[in-house]
Amino acid sequence: LRARDIENIGHGPLYRRLQTALKAVIDDGILKIDDALPSERDLANELGISRVTVRNAMRALVEEGVLVQRHGAGTFVAPRVEQALSRLTSFTEDMITRGMNPGAIWIEKTLGHASPEEAMALNLSPGTEVTRLRRLRTANDKPMALEYAVVPRAFLPSPDDVEKSLYDALAKYGKKPERALQRLRAELFDGETAKILGVPDGSAALYIERRSFLADGTPVEFTRSYYRGDSYDFIAEMQVDA
């Protein structure tokens, strides 16, 4: 990183430009997870800018979830989220377990009629009423995933029943899923989705489709999500056949 790189990047106050420049260094993999950043003083000296500017840029990146500050040790590139594949949990639970603050930005919260694909996934006849929930999921305000959930209206009478957590809302009606089938595949973010998630166009995405069921096997949820490929690891424990 050189002073010149920062002057030429983006616009606005210098600390914002430094923030963008540092983020690019991390996105490009030059600084990797758990790598330490130089101290405020070293970075300020190296770039010939004030320590306050460096401090503001780093603070903004901590708020974005890109960096973490460890007491007495310094500032590091934030770890990825590790997610076990064998436990059925909600996004809200996952983030709380990790000490992060789950959030959502609503894009759509409506009633509609099941498309043929949704009807098939939920075992409904096409046209059955469904609740549609599309939201950007955040952890400590950092965008993590774009999620589109479809739930039969029979289990979730009004989209407004969901304030924060879908699974909490379903639990209120005694319809919390007990089993799920999940499919993961690699995709690339298209322009629009990339923009919403704040990642470069064409960067790696994990497409995840979840169908979840009540104890008796009735489907309750059909969710299509795009997770940031740069922030998530899915972990599975495996055993040889007995």
213 binds ligand GLP (CB under 6 A): no
Find residue 205's DSSP bridge partners.
187, 228
As to burial, measured by CB atoms within 10 angstroms (0-12 exposed, 13-18 middle, 19+ buried), residue 62 is middle
Residue 161 touching ligand GLP (CB under 6 A): no
Options 41-49, 67-75, 86-94, 113-121: segment touching ligand GLP (CB under 6 A)? 86-94
Angstrom distance (rounded) from CA 209 to CA 226: 9
Q: Which stretch binds ligand GLP (CB under 6 A): 37-45, 79-87, 109-117, 162-170?
A: 162-170
Residues 232 and 242: their CA atoms lie apart, in Å, by 31
92-151: contacts with ligand GLP (CB under 6 A) = 92, 147, 149
Of positions 6, 31, 47, 91, contacts ligand GLP by CB under 6 A:
91
At 62, is the secondary structure helix, strand, or coil? helix
Residues in 18-47 that interact with ligand GLP by CB under 6 A: none
For 215, list phi and psi in degrees, rounded to 5: -55, -35
Q: Round to whole Å and give the CA distance between 36 and 116.
A: 50
Check binding of 167 to ligand GLP (CB under 6 A): yes
Contacts to ligand GLP by CB under 6 A: 90-92, 147, 149, 165-168, 208, 210, 221, 223, 225
